[in-house]
């Protein structure tokens, strides 16, 4: 469903080049929960943003259902981006809008009739277990509830793909487990392909079918989750699995 083919991304800052991605190739199957894990600055956020072309690759191809979307103009990308939802670490909710209007926002942008919006939001609020928060504002919500609203907003346009950029990093362990449980249910019940980037090994262990490990813009290892945890091959994967902290005296 998603195929990245020799994708590289170079950022140019004054007199230097930053090679954020280097010759990255991977395939993500329809209906899969695919994890991308690495340390801060490894290139994982840039990688996930190439999937919906928020970051256009310097070279390489990005395929969605066999269509090379890297060749499309911004206007031609619009229908493809509607098929891709995205959630972030810091929720990005509109503080002056209620839960209802935060979820409704993408539907209102494309002129969806109010009756359809109401019906859609009712079903999404039931899915995320926040029916009683319909008219609340983000300030009245916990971090986990805010992320549930962000997930509902991402699902409002019925995407086939959900990109999660460090979606649990700002949450405590118990709330993280509840959000991961929700993502797993969304994957199983709605058949949505989920791409989840994180630096937390326990997150990929809990929900991902397969995992790619990225370091310095390169994929250093990719495998089924159980196999990767049982027999990590690269030194970076082994470090991520067995973190240690050494303090200088």
Please give the Cα distance from 25 to 117 (Å, whole number): 38
Residues in the chain: 249
Task: Return the pLDDT at 90.
Answer: 85
Please give the Cα distance from 107 to 116 (Å, whole number): 9
Please give the Cα distance from 17 to 60 (Å, whole number): 18
Task: Return the pLDDT at 243.
Answer: 64
Task: Return the pLDDT at 125.
Answer: 97
Distance of CA 57 to CAs 45, 53, 210, Å?
Answer: 13, 8, 24
Task: Return the pLDDT at 15.
Answer: 85
CB 70 within 8 A of CB 242: no
For residue 214, what are the β-bridge partners?
Answer: 219
Fold of domain 31-53+83-241: Rossmann fold (3.40.50)
Q: Name the one residue in this structure whose structure tokens are 């942008």.
A: 109
Q: What is the pLDDT along the chain (249 residues), one digit of tens a residue?
A: 899 999 999 999 888 999 999 999 999 999 999 999 999 899 999 999 999 999 999 999 999 988 999 999 999 998 898 899 999 888 899 999 999 999 999 999 989 999 999 999 999 999 999 999 999 999 999 999 999 999 999 999 999 999 999 889 888 999 999 999 999 999 999 999 999 999 888 999 999 999 999 999 999 999 999 999 999 999 999 999 876 544 443
Task: Return the pLDDT at 144.
Answer: 94
Q: Name the one residue in this structure whose structure tokens are 């346009």.
A: 157
CB 160 within 8 A of CB 193: yes
Task: Return the pLDDT at 170.
Answer: 83
Task: Return the pLDDT at 88.
Answer: 87
């Amino acid at each position: 469903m998603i195929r990245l083919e020799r994708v590289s991304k170079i950022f140019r800052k004054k007199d230097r080049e930053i090679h954020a991605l280097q010759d990255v190739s991977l395939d993500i199957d329809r209906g899969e929960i695919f994890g991308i894990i690495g340390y801060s600055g490894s290139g994982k956020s840039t990688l996930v943003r190439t999937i919906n072309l928020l970051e256009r690759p310097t070279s390489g191809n990005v395929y969605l259902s066999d269509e090379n979307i890297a060749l499309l103009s911004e206007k031609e990308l619009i229908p493809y981006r509607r098929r891709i939802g995205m959630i972030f670490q810091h929720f990005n909710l509109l503080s002056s809008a209620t839960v209802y209007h935060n979820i409704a926002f993408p539907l209102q942008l494309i002129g969806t009739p109010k009756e359809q919006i109401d019906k859609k939001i009712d079903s999404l609020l039931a899915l995320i277990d926040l029916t009683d928060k319909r008219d609340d504002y983000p300030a009245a919500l916990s971090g986990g509830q805010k992320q549930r609203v962000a997930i509902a907003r991402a699902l409002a346009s019925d995407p086939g793909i959900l990109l999660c950029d460090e979606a649990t990093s700002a949450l405590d362990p118990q709330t993280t487990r509840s959000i991961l449980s929700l993502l797993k249910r969304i994957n199983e019940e709605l058949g949505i392909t989920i791409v989840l980037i994180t630096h937390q090994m326990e997150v990929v262990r809990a929900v991902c079918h397969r995992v790619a490990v990225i370091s310095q813009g390169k994929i250093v290892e990719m495998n089924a989750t159980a196999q990767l945890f049982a027999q990590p091959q690269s030194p970076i994967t082994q470090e991520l699995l067995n973190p240690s902290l050494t303090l200088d005296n």
